[in-house]
Protein backbone atom coordinates (compact mmCIF):
# COMPACT_ATOMS: atom_id res chain seq x y z
CA UNK A 1 0.00 0.00 0.00
CA UNK A 2 2.81 2.38 0.91
CA UNK A 3 4.62 1.57 -2.34
CA UNK A 4 1.50 2.44 -4.34
CA UNK A 5 1.19 5.76 -2.49
CA UNK A 6 4.84 6.57 -3.25
CA UNK A 7 4.35 5.69 -6.92
CA UNK A 8 1.27 7.91 -7.14
CA UNK A 9 2.93 10.75 -5.22
CA UNK A 10 5.96 10.74 -7.49
CA UNK A 11 3.84 10.51 -10.62
CA UNK A 12 5.61 7.35 -11.71
CA UNK A 13 3.56 5.01 -13.82
CA UNK A 14 3.72 1.27 -13.45
CA UNK A 15 5.02 -0.51 -16.54
CA UNK A 16 2.42 -1.55 -19.09
CA UNK A 17 2.10 -5.31 -19.42
CA UNK A 18 2.60 -6.66 -22.92
CA UNK A 19 0.95 -10.02 -23.41
CA UNK A 20 -1.12 -12.00 -25.87
CA UNK A 21 -2.40 -15.57 -26.10
CA UNK A 22 0.14 -17.31 -28.35
CA UNK A 23 -1.07 -18.50 -31.73
CA UNK A 24 -0.37 -22.02 -32.94
CA UNK A 25 2.57 -22.55 -35.26
CA UNK A 26 5.12 -25.17 -36.24
CA UNK A 27 8.80 -24.68 -37.00
CA UNK A 28 11.88 -26.87 -37.13
CA UNK A 29 13.93 -27.11 -33.96
CA UNK A 30 16.64 -24.45 -34.04
CA UNK A 31 14.75 -22.22 -36.50
CA UNK A 32 13.17 -20.03 -33.80
CA UNK A 33 15.28 -17.03 -34.76
CA UNK A 34 14.52 -17.20 -38.46
CA UNK A 35 11.20 -15.32 -38.44
CA UNK A 36 11.29 -11.64 -39.38
CA UNK A 37 8.27 -9.43 -38.64
CA UNK A 38 8.13 -6.16 -40.59
CA UNK A 39 5.49 -3.56 -39.76
CA UNK A 40 4.62 -1.04 -42.48
CA UNK A 41 3.96 2.57 -41.55
CA UNK A 42 0.42 3.72 -42.44
CA UNK A 43 0.16 6.40 -45.16
CA UNK A 44 -2.26 8.54 -43.17
CA UNK A 45 -3.01 9.44 -39.56
CA UNK A 46 -5.07 6.99 -37.54
CA UNK A 47 -8.40 8.27 -36.23
CA UNK A 48 -9.44 7.36 -32.69
CA UNK A 49 -12.95 6.99 -34.14
CA UNK A 50 -12.08 4.52 -36.86
CA UNK A 51 -10.10 1.33 -36.93
CA UNK A 52 -6.35 0.81 -36.80
CA UNK A 53 -5.33 -0.88 -40.05
CA UNK A 54 -1.67 -1.85 -40.08
CA UNK A 55 0.05 -4.17 -42.49
CA UNK A 56 2.62 -6.67 -41.23
CA UNK A 57 4.80 -8.98 -43.27
CA UNK A 58 6.13 -12.22 -41.79
CA UNK A 59 9.14 -13.63 -43.62
CA UNK A 60 11.21 -16.71 -42.83
CA UNK A 61 14.78 -17.74 -43.49
CA UNK A 62 15.86 -21.35 -43.36
CA UNK A 63 12.99 -23.82 -42.99
CA UNK A 64 9.32 -23.06 -43.61
CA UNK A 65 7.06 -22.07 -40.72
CA UNK A 66 3.43 -23.11 -40.43
CA UNK A 67 1.34 -20.41 -38.77
CA UNK A 68 -2.28 -20.33 -37.63
CA UNK A 69 -4.71 -18.45 -39.83
CA UNK A 70 -6.18 -17.15 -36.55
CA UNK A 71 -3.12 -14.94 -35.91
CA UNK A 72 -4.60 -11.57 -34.87
CA UNK A 73 -4.52 -8.97 -32.07
CA UNK A 74 -4.97 -10.70 -28.68
CA UNK A 75 -4.48 -14.01 -30.51
CA UNK A 76 -0.74 -14.10 -31.14
CA UNK A 77 -0.27 -10.37 -31.81
CA UNK A 78 0.10 -7.58 -29.27
CA UNK A 79 0.66 -3.88 -29.93
CA UNK A 80 3.70 -2.41 -28.17
CA UNK A 81 2.98 1.34 -28.06
CA UNK A 82 5.43 3.93 -26.76
CA UNK A 83 5.41 7.68 -26.53
CA UNK A 84 8.09 9.59 -28.43
CA UNK A 85 10.40 9.37 -25.39
CA UNK A 86 10.27 5.57 -25.54
CA UNK A 87 8.00 4.97 -22.53
CA UNK A 88 5.31 2.31 -22.94
CA UNK A 89 1.80 3.72 -22.78
CA UNK A 90 -1.44 2.00 -21.89
CA UNK A 91 -4.43 2.08 -24.23
CA UNK A 92 -7.49 4.18 -23.45
CA UNK A 93 -9.37 0.92 -22.75
CA UNK A 94 -7.97 -2.56 -22.19
CA UNK A 95 -8.46 -4.72 -25.27
CA UNK A 96 -11.00 -7.50 -25.22
CA UNK A 97 -9.09 -10.76 -25.11
CA UNK A 98 -9.75 -13.62 -27.47
CA UNK A 99 -10.00 -17.20 -26.30
CA UNK A 100 -7.28 -19.42 -27.74
CA UNK A 101 -8.09 -20.74 -31.20
CA UNK A 102 -8.85 -24.46 -31.34
CA UNK A 103 -5.81 -26.63 -32.17
CA UNK A 104 -5.37 -27.26 -35.87
CA UNK A 105 -3.73 -30.07 -37.76
CA UNK A 106 -0.50 -29.23 -39.60
CA UNK A 107 -2.49 -29.14 -42.83
CA UNK A 108 -4.73 -26.40 -41.40
CA UNK A 109 -1.83 -24.04 -40.77
CA UNK A 110 -0.65 -21.48 -43.34
CA UNK A 111 2.80 -22.30 -44.74
CA UNK A 112 5.30 -19.44 -44.87
CA UNK A 113 8.34 -20.34 -46.97
CA UNK A 114 11.60 -18.49 -47.57
CA UNK A 115 10.98 -15.93 -50.33
CA UNK A 116 7.19 -16.22 -49.89
CA UNK A 117 6.24 -13.96 -46.96
CA UNK A 118 2.87 -13.92 -45.25
CA UNK A 119 1.09 -10.56 -45.27
CA UNK A 120 -1.31 -9.75 -42.44
CA UNK A 121 -3.79 -6.90 -42.25
CA UNK A 122 -3.77 -6.20 -38.51
CA UNK A 123 -6.99 -4.43 -37.47
CA UNK A 124 -8.04 -3.22 -34.04
CA UNK A 125 -10.06 -0.48 -32.36
CA UNK A 126 -7.78 2.51 -31.64
CA UNK A 127 -9.01 2.86 -28.05
CA UNK A 128 -7.63 -0.65 -27.44
CA UNK A 129 -4.21 0.41 -28.79
CA UNK A 130 -3.59 4.11 -28.04
CA UNK A 131 -4.22 6.32 -24.98
CA UNK A 132 -5.58 9.13 -27.17
CA UNK A 133 -4.53 11.48 -29.97
CA UNK A 134 -0.79 12.06 -30.35
CA UNK A 135 2.34 10.71 -31.97
CA UNK A 136 3.44 7.23 -30.98
CA UNK A 137 6.06 4.63 -31.77
CA UNK A 138 4.46 1.25 -32.45
CA UNK A 139 5.78 -2.24 -32.95
CA UNK A 140 4.13 -5.64 -32.90
CA UNK A 141 4.87 -8.56 -30.65
CA UNK A 142 4.16 -11.88 -32.35
CA UNK A 143 3.82 -14.77 -29.91
CA UNK A 144 3.70 -18.33 -31.25
CA UNK A 145 3.46 -21.76 -29.67
CA UNK A 146 4.70 -24.93 -31.36
CA UNK A 147 2.46 -27.68 -29.95
CA UNK A 148 3.88 -30.26 -32.37
CA UNK A 149 7.19 -30.13 -30.47
CA UNK A 150 7.75 -32.16 -27.32
CA UNK A 151 7.73 -30.34 -25.01
CA UNK A 152 5.76 -27.50 -26.59
CA UNK A 153 7.92 -24.49 -27.49
CA UNK A 154 7.01 -20.84 -27.15
CA UNK A 155 8.72 -18.02 -29.01
CA UNK A 156 8.16 -14.28 -29.40
CA UNK A 157 9.35 -11.87 -32.06
CA UNK A 158 9.17 -8.08 -32.22
CA UNK A 159 8.63 -6.18 -35.44
CA UNK A 160 10.46 -3.04 -36.40
CA UNK A 161 9.14 0.20 -34.87
CA UNK A 162 7.12 2.73 -36.88
CA UNK A 163 5.92 6.20 -35.92
CA UNK A 164 2.19 6.87 -36.26
CA UNK A 165 0.06 9.95 -35.79
CA UNK A 166 -3.27 9.45 -34.03
CA UNK A 167 -5.99 12.08 -34.39
CA UNK A 168 -9.32 12.59 -32.65
Q: State pLDDT tens for residues 49-73.
A: 988 889 999 999 888 899 999 999 8
| Highest mean pLDDT of the ranges 17-31, 78-92, 141-155 | 78-92
Please tell me the distance from the alpha carbon of residue 78 to that of residue 45, in angstroms, as a whole number.
Answer: 20
Residues 6+ apart with CB under 8 A from 156: 141, 142, 143, 144
Q: What is the pLDDT of residue 20?
A: 85
| 106-140 pLDDT, tens digit each | 999 999 999 999 999 999 999 999 999 999 999 99
Residue 161 has pLDDT above 80, yes or no: yes
Question: pTM of the full predicted structure?
Answer: 0.83
What ranges do the domains of the chain cover? 20-167
Q: What is the pLDDT of residue 10?
A: 41
Which residue in 122, 33, 27 sits closest to 66, CA to CA? 27
Residue 11 has pLDDT above 90, yes or no: no
CATH no. for 20-167: 2.60.40.2970
Please tell me the distance from the alpha carbon of residue 110 to that of residue 11, in angstroms, as a whole number.
Answer: 46
Q: Give the mean pLDDT of the chain.
A: 86
Residue 2 has pLDDT above 90, yes or no: no
Amino acid sequence: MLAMAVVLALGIEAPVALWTVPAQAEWASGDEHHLNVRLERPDTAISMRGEVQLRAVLAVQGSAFRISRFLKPTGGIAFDVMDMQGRRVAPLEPPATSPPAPPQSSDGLTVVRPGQPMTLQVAEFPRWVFPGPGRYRVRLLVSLMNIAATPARYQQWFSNTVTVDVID
